[in-house]
């Protein structure tokens, strides 16, 4: 199954190290950072799980719930988390989905046969409170994620939703944003009373910080 931006994120039920989970119910009114890993007790995955745990406060401040997946059992997750906490100096609390039968990995197209027939690649799905997929990223097994970028795109999506803007290349919170061409100057005057700079008729910038 191939999932696209704007699609409804498929629901599922499975076990985690904390017990059973029903995805849509668990997500509630939060955003979700849903990310997969090839396997427990592997080096890159251990650092990524640890980094996610270390950033718990950053995710919570953005109303984002992290949700991990590895194609192993909940019992294996519990044992692995001890290693994650010890080696990464953290306290991992977010759920990690058990997916030993690969059902969720296949549902979300996380199995790429040229990488592995049985392990998930490093997929990322940012899912909004309406359960819509807003962003996807896929990393190969050998490359760890950039968590600063993950937080940046969450900030960009949430700012875009709040102010009806777009964000330019390398945007970060506090920098100028773009008024989409679909908003004419009359409507822009209402939405952006602080004014804007017109670089081209199709390129207007403003600041909403």
Active-site residues, by number, are 45
List beta partners, residue 133. Answer: 127
Q: Which residues contact 67 (CB under 8 A, 6 or more apart)?
A: 23, 26, 32, 33, 34, 35, 94, 95, 97
List beta partners, residue 34. Answer: 67, 125
Which of the 8 DSSP states describes residue 50? H
Contact 111, 39 (CB under 8 A): no
d(CA 89, CA 84): 8
């Amino acid at each position: 199954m191939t999932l696209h931006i704007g699609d409804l994120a498929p629901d599922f039920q499975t076990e985690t190290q904390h017990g059973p989970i029903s995805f849509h119910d668990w997500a509630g009114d939060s955003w979700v950072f849903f990310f997969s890993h090839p396997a427990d007790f592997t080096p890159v995955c251990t650092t990524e799980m640890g980094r996610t745990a270390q950033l718990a406060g950053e995710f919570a401040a953005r109303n984002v719930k992290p949700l991990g997946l590895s194609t192993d059992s909940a019992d294996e997750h519990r044992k692995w988390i001890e290693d994650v906490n010890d080696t990464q100096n953290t306290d991992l609390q977010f759920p990690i989905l058990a997916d030993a039968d690969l059902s969720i990995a296949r549902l979300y197209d996380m199995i790429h046969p040229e990488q592995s027939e049985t392990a998930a690649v490093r997929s990322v799905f940012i899912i909004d409170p309406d359960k819509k997929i807003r962003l996807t990223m896929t990393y190969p097994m050998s490359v760890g994620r950039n968590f600063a970028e993950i937080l940046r795109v969450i900030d960009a999506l949430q700012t875009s939703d709040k102010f009806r803007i777009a964000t330019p290349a390398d945007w970060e919170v506090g920098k100028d944003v773009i008024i989409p061409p679909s908003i004419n100057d009359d409507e822009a005057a209402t939405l952006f009373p602080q004014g804007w700079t017109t670089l081209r008729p199709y390129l207007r910038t403003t600041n909403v910080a």
